């Protein structure tokens, strides 16, 4: 994102051309932020019902949070963090390795491979959830840890989507790293692995962060696959656990849900704000180059 430049505009021209933009900004910000403020307020309310949450910040207590931690929520949080974290790291490693291969080596089937990934990318893995369910059902008989109701199996399923979604984005960025750098390193005696890990990955670190974050958010929010694969209450992710917790008892458990929502959204929102510069770059650059 280009550095922001300011132009001074004063007097009548300011009123005519600029003032209304702040009005739009105010309306848009209220629209964007209101539901989130509302959740925060509901999580701090004492009664914890849907009706009780309509007076914003009528009272500020932590009873809902206390109640939340009596449920399995902490366990779900750990599950989500571990599943999302492992998936994100492995996704970054596998997708960047593939992007490195496509960007730096010339091999038979390279063009075909790239086109193939572009095609695969169109079909969301989620659509095959029935087959995933049946595959894991069979795998459970052979290796329970890779079968239904295993968190490791869920990670493996998510990793199936690692290449399709991210290789292309990274490929574009890898190409923007000058090849002269590799060659200089090669002359100094570095092998392909060292070039990959110590030169290229360092240079594209911001992209890696974005891919990791988007991958994490994707698995964190996934309901359909996690809901099918995981069955035991103590193995659920937040998305599945919180939903089951609130389903059918919308009114009564609203406050606890709001507390859970606040806690689980907070780290992601902060990361997003922190990385927004790179996210914007990643969103536009990857696809344009693709």
Partner 1 sequence: MKGRDAADTTDAPPPSPDEVAAAERAAAGRGTTSHAREMGPYFVVKLVLLALIDAFGLFVIFSSWQVEHWGILASMVAILVVVNWVYFSRRMIAAKYLFPGLVFLLVYQLFTMGYTAYISFTNYGTGHNATREDAVAANLAQNESRVPDSPSYPLTVVTTPDGELGFAIVDDGEVLAGTAEQPFEESPDATVADGDVTEVPGYDVLSFAQILEQQNEITNLRVGFADADEGSIRTQDGSTGYLYRSVLTYDEATGAITNTDTGVVYTDNGEGSFQAEDGSTLLVGWRVAVGFDNYTAMFTDSRLSGPFLSVLAWTFAFAILSVGTTFFLGLFLAIVFNHPAVRGRRVIRSLLILPYAFPGFLSGLVWAGLLNRRFGFINEVLLGGAEIPWLTDPWLAKLSVIGVNLWLGFPYMFLIATGALQAISTDMYEAARIDGAGAGRVFRSITLPLLMISLAPLLIASFAFNFNNFNLIFFLTEGGPNFPGSPIAVGATDILISMVYSVAFESGTQQFGLASAMAIMIFIMVGVISWLGFRQTHKLEEVI
For position 174 contacting partner 1 by CB under 8 A, the verdict is no
For position 156 contacting partner 1 by CB under 8 A, the verdict is yes
For position 276 contacting partner 1 by CB under 8 A, the verdict is yes
DSSP labels for 161-186? THHHHHHHHHHHHHHHS-HHHHHHHH
Q: Near partner 1 by CB under 8 A, which window of 59-67, 70-78, 161-169, 203-211?
A: 161-169
Q: How many residues bind partner 1 (CB under 8 A)?
A: 118
Specify whether the CB–CB gap between 136 and 229 falls below 8 A: yes
Footprint on residues 58-117 left by partner 1 (CB under 8 A): 93-95, 97-98, 100-102, 104-110, 113
- Which residue in 58, 60, 78, 134 binds partner 1 (CB under 8 A)? 134
The maximal CA–CA distance of the chain, rounded, in angstroms, is 77
State the nearest-atom distance from the C-beta of 10 to partner 1, in Å: 9
Footprint on residues 212-241 left by partner 1 (CB under 8 A): 217, 220-221, 223-224, 228, 239
- Which residue in 57, 59, 111, 160 binds partner 1 (CB under 8 A)? 160
Q: Near partner 1 by CB under 8 A, which window of 65-73, 201-209, 250-258?
A: 250-258
Q: Measuring CA to CA, which residue among 213, 182, 211, 187 is closest to residue 197? A: 182
- Which residue in 58, 59, 82, 124 binds partner 1 (CB under 8 A)? 124
Which residues have CB under 8 Å from 168's CB, separation 6+? 114, 117, 118, 121, 286, 290
Q: Rounded to an integer, what distance in angstroms lies between the CA atom of residue 220 and that of residue 134?
A: 23
Q: Rounded to an integer, what distance in angstroms lies between the CA atom of residue 158 and that of residue 80?
A: 13
- Which residue in 60, 143, 184, 205 binds partner 1 (CB under 8 A)? 143
Q: Near partner 1 by CB under 8 A, which window of 58-66, 71-79, 127-135, 202-210?
A: 127-135
Could you count the other beta carbons within 10 Å of the beta carbon of residue 167?
A: 29
**Alpha carbon of 62 to those of 43, 75, 121: distances in Å?**
8, 20, 44
């Amino acid at each position: 994102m280009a550095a922001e430049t300011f132009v001074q505009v004063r007097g009548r021209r300011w009123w005519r051309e600029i003032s209304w933009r702040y009005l739009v900004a105010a309306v848009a910000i209220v629209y964007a932020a209101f539901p989130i403020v509302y959740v925060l307020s509901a999580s701090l309310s004492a009664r914890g019902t849907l009706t009780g949450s309509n007076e914003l910040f009528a009272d500020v207590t932590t009873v809902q949070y206390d109640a939340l931690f009596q449920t399995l929520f902490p366990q779900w949080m750990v599950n989500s963090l571990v599943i999302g974290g492992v998936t994100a790291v492995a996704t970054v490693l596998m997708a960047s390795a593939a992007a490195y291969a496509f960007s730096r080596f010339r091999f038979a089937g390279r063009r075909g491979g790239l086109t193939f990934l572009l095609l695969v990318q169109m079909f969301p893995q989620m659509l095959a959830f029935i087959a995933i369910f049946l595959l894991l059902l069979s795998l459970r008989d052979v290796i329970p840890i890779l079968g239904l109701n295993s968190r490791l199996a869920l990670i493996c399923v998510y990793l199936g989507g690692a290449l399709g979604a991210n290789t292309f984005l990274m490929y574009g960025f890898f190409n923007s790293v000058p090849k002269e750098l590799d060659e200089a390193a090669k002359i100094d005696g570095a092998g392909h692995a060292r070039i990959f890990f110590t030169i290229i990955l360092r240079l594209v670190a911001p992209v890696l962060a974005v891919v990791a974050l988007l991958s994490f958010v994707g698995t964190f929010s996934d309901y359909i696959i996690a809901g099918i694969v995981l069955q035991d209450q103590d193995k659920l992710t937040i998305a599945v656990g919180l939903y089951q917790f609130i389903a059918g008892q919308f009114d009564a458990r609203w406050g606890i849900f709001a507390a859970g929502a606040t806690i689980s959204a907070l780290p992601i929102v902060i990361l997003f704000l922190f990385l927004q510069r790179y996210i914007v770059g990643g969103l536009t650059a990857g696809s344009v180059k693709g």
